[in-house]
Chains A and B, each alone.
Chain A
Amino acid sequence: MAHLLELEDLTVSYNRVPALHHVSLQLRCGSCVGLLGPNGAGKTTLIKAIAGLVPLETGRIRLHGHEVRASARTVAYLPQRGGVDWDFPLTVRGLVEMGRYPALGLFGRFTEEDHRIVDDALRVMRLSDYADRHINALSGGQQQRAFLARSWAQQAHVYLLDEPFNGLDKTAQKDLTDALHRLAADHKLVIVSHHHLETVPDIFDHVVMLNGELVVAGKTSEVFTPERVAETFSIEVFSGVHAHGHGHGHHH
């Protein structure tokens, strides 16, 4: 029962406007969870709260029964691709090696074990052939996987991804989906904010539907229904468009 990420009564506000309002939920390791909701529903905020990047107004976050702190290496945050300086002088291997820095501290030397972990991360994310490339010479999907490999090298248990499917073509989407499923199969907890409702059942085994507050959380096959989607997207101003545009044809 301990392999859980527990969010208890989470509230996060910006300038006194709550982005997340008293959200409580439990997520089990080994699942691939989609965070769904309209713009401004608090998807990114929830991810940042778990990553320890925004202060909590109320509530707490526990992993395996222990409080998660900002310094927890067990939680890996992946930035949106647009926010990364891809001209930074860094190879794919260099990026993945960064995942070992927190464990090594300031002076710890790279041991055989560290190199093995880095190689392992590259292999799991199918990047071994690209290890010596500059990060700018990767495709969009490969860039996502490079960051996933870095988190793997960090030996993270919880992977937080903010809209990683944005701007990926069909092949790259399939590729990233497979990578996320490999992580979940390895008992990691993968949490992804997402807004293409059509692809939800293919990618996620669990969904969390947000609208500032928690609408519903559970198995995709059970809770990802047209009614719930309509409920999630109907409270916001843009809801009508979303509910009609995406609210059908996704559930079988």
Chain B
Amino acid sequence: MTWLPDALQYEFFQRALLGCLLVGFTNGFLSAYIILRRLALLADALSHSLLPGLAAGAIFFGLAPAGLFVGALVAGVLVCLGGVLISRSSRLKDEAAIGALYTMAFALGILLLRYSSVRVDLEHFLFGNILGLSDFDLWMNYAISLLIVGLLVVLHRPLLLTLFEPSVAQSQGVPVNALQLLLMAMIVLAMISSLQAVGVVLSLGLLILPGATLYLLSDDFGVIAWGGGILGAAGSCAGLFLSHWLDVSSGPVIVMVLGACFIASYLFSPKYGIVTRLLRPPHLHEQSYERWGTKNQRDHPRIAASVAADAKNKADAPASENARPSA
């Protein structure tokens, strides 16, 4: 375990760790809202629509981070608003409208990158490099994290009403449309803030995996949101250390760590895991006897037979039968 303090003494690594904490927590916290509002596909679309913005930013402002930031933000917001506009003013649903727009945006981005004179390292934006965080990147992470987590906490109640039942929320006077747009804007911002860390495509993993993991573990919204934030931060840091130790690039490792947590909760979640469910008895034996058995067991031959078989099993193996305490 000597590698850990070694890495920590480098400034670039400390920056990377701070970046991981900020980006991981913010994305993980927002993740709960994305899962519950079923915005995962929309977030995917938005991640691709950032590309032309980055390209345009590079063309107009060079590779200055501020220019890239503004470009990506404008592109994301335009696709969002355009999608909402088209879905409201036509019979298309919003996922189709946004799907149409984001592919156009992505194609435009590729053209811009290929035929512009600016040399942009495409791979850098696709996969990020958290070890190269600049001061601007870190300040941006701070600002965006503060803004997003702050807004989500302040607007917790109206957002929860909107997420659960938009029409009821609207009838209660909640500005449902404005909140949904705000949520989209927050997704764009969160994605931009994780660009440098994990890149365009992998930022999606940070936005979806923590919420999806916690959604399979808990029935409490607070636990899903805050737990998602903590899991996102912890998973990002763990991924960073792991990638340093393995000497591979950090973005994919961070997403793989979060992905492993997701698969584990899918399989082994106490309540909703598929393996857990398979291991459980097919029905609630004791409770069923309590409800129907005592009343019917004398009259119903099949239940009587099963009760007799149970009693026999218990007599055969009295010590190991913890699953069926007493009939």
Contacts and interface: CB of A to CB of B under 8 A. Distances in A.
A75 B36 contact: no
Interface in B115-158: 154-158
20 contacts: A51-B167, A51-B171, A52-B170, A53-B171, A70-B170, A70-B173, A71-B172, A71-B173, A88-B36, A88-B164, A89-B36, A89-B221, A90-B219, A101-B157, A101-B161, A104-B157, A105-B157, A106-B154, A107-B154, A154-B172
B235 to A, nearest CB: 21
A81 to B, nearest CB: 11
B214 to A, nearest CB: 9
Interface residues of B, number: 25
A94 B164 CA distance: 11
Interface of B: 36, 154-158, 160-161, 163-165, 167-168, 170-174, 215, 218-221, 223-224
Contact of B168 (A70, A79, A91): A79
A168 B254 CA distance: 48
Interface residues of A, number: 30
Interface string A152-167: 0010000000000000
Contacts of A71: 172-173
A73 B173 contact: yes
Nearest to A151: B168
A85 B165 CA distance: 8
A89 B215 contact: yes
Q: Do most interface residues of chain B lie in helix, strand or loop, or is the interface mixed?
A: helix
Interface of A: 51-53, 69-73, 75-79, 83-85, 88-91, 94, 98, 101-102, 104-107, 134, 154
Contacts of A70: 170-171, 173
Given A72-B173, A101-B157, A101-B158, A77 B168 contact: yes
B167 A79 contact: yes
Which of B161, B170, B172: most chain A Cβ within 10 A?
Answer: B172
Contact of B219 (A77, A78, A91): A91
A227 to B, nearest CB: 36
Contact of B171 (A52, A84, A94, A98): A52
Contact of B167 (A72, A77, A85, A104): A77
Contact of A90 (B156, B164, B174): B164
A89 B172 contact: no
A136 B283 CA distance: 18
What 9 pairs across the A-B complex have the smallest Cβ distances? A71-B173, A77-B171, A51-B171, A101-B157, A89-B219, A89-B221, A102-B172, A134-B219, A88-B164
A76 B158 CA distance: 16
B165 A84 contact: yes
B157 to A, nearest CB: 5
Which of B165, B173, B218, B220 has the most A CB atoms < 10 Å from its CB?
A: B165
Contacts of A90: 164, 219, 221
Given A70-B170, A75-B171, A85-B36, 5 more contacts: A72-B173, A98-B161, A101-B158, A107-B154, A134-B219
Contacts of B167: 51, 53, 77, 79, 83
B59 to A, nearest CB: 42
A106 B155 contact: yes
Given A89-B215, A89-B219, A134-B219, A78 B168 contact: yes
A32 B157 CA distance: 31
B175 to A, nearest CB: 9
B174 to A, nearest CB: 8
Nearest to A104: B157
A98 B160 contact: yes
